[in-house]
Structure 1
Amino acid sequence: MKDKTIDYILRATWQAVARMYNEEAAKYGATMSTGFALLSLDKDKGSPSTTLGPKMGMEATSLTRTLKSMEDKGLITRKKNPVDGRGVLINLTKFGKEKRELSKNTVLKFNETIKEHISEEKLQHFIEVAETINNLIAEKKIFFEDDKLIQTTNK
């Protein structure tokens, strides 16, 4: 761990988590993105398609592909948004709600297993570190300060 950078650890861990979720989802003919979308949709009222990308951290093209696949599999339906006729509401079908529950249980199983192996105190520290990293990035405090690129040198 001494020689590994923080970004390497984050990336390698996320890739392992994504691979694990994709392997689990493949057992049900799905992907991690499909499961994440199922969990991101309001199960009762549906969700405007425009809110899903930012909520999931997905680019529009990837989200469109995921939603098309979900629609083809009968997990969702798309209907005009009655509040905003220009938009589309994504609703879960009965089948989609069943698969949403499966996705939810998969995520809960992951969390339970991690909590069995890592103390509450360590998890709290992990969450604090992750939030700090996200805030530093969001506030552009790593490479940008007052909209000027910070020049770094190897000394």
Structure 2
Amino acid sequence: MDKDKSIDHQLRATWQAVAKMYNEQAANYGSTMAMAFVLLTIDKENGTPSTALGPLMGMEPTSLSRILKSMEDKGAISREKNPEDGRSVIIKLTAYGLEMRKFSKSHVYQFNNVVREYVTEKELDSFFKVTSTINKLIADKEIYNAISQDK
């Protein structure tokens, strides 16, 4: 199959370009795209239980632990005991983390606004429908089950 017509190739190549763009911007602030994603995922007022962050972000615990450690070292987050469950920890944004969150959010808005200048609402609706369908097919395990049922 021609890579230009391969859905997975287009998704991967586009995501890699987006990730590179965000990482270049984040580097200007001594951060990474993954750290920015964490900043945007943490509830800015109440914090977020550490056990909830991984599933919210679709990230493995080991990778998330490494990112959280780095963010704590940079002073962007703090860890507090969860008052409702002493076994878990609430991740909270520090004043510096809140400031960095604003930068992250502004870059996400800028990306979305510029893309919306070049892509119509109808095209975006189609894009979201396609990505939603792909995610559902994967979640429902329809991709390879459908192939193995045909054999």
For structure 1, list consecutive stretches of 5 or more residues without a partner in the other structure.
none
Aligned residue number for residue 78 of structure 1: 79
Q: Which amino acid aligns with 2:148?
A: I
Q: Identity of counterpart residues, as a percentage?
A: 57
Deviation at 1:19, TM superposition (A): 0.5
Normalised to the residue count of structure 2, the TM-score between the two structures is 0.95
Cα distance, 1:120–1:83 mapped onto 2, change above 3 Å: same
Alignment partner of 1:60 is 2:58: no
Q: Which amino acid aligns with 1:43?
A: K
Aligned residue number for residue 150 of structure 1: 148
Give the secondary structure class of the aligned counterpart of 1:7: helix
Aligned residue number for residue 113 of structure 2: 112
Residue-pair matches, total: 150
Q: Which amino acid aligns with 2:138?
A: I
For residues 18 and 41 of structure 1, the distance between their equivalents in structure 2, rounded to whole angstroms, comes to: 20
Cα distance, 1:152–1:22 mapped onto 2, change above 3 Å: farther
For residues 28 and 101 of structure 1, the distance between their equivalents in structure 2, rounded to whole angstroms, comes to: 12
Normalised to the residue count of structure 1, the TM-score between the two structures is 0.92
Matches within 5 A, 1:14-53: 14-53=15-54
Deviation at 1:4, TM superposition (A): 2.9
Aligned residue number for residue 137 of structure 1: 138
Q: Over residues 11-68 of structure 1, what are the superposed CA-to-partner deviations in whole Å (9 max), with x where a residue is unaligned?
A: 0000000000000000110000000000000000000000101111111111001000
Give the secondary structure class of the aligned counterpart of 2:79: strand
Q: Over residues 89-129 of structure 1, what are the superposed CA-to-partner deviations in whole Å (9 max), with x where a residue is unaligned?
A: 00000110010011000000000000000001000000000
CA RMSD of aligned residues (A): 1.5
For structure 2, list consecutive stretches of 5 or more residues without a partner in the other structure.
none
Alignment partner of 1:121 is 2:122: yes
For residues 45 and 145 of structure 2, the distance between their equivalents in structure 1, rounded to whole angstroms, comes to: 42
Deviation at 1:151, TM superposition (A): 5.6
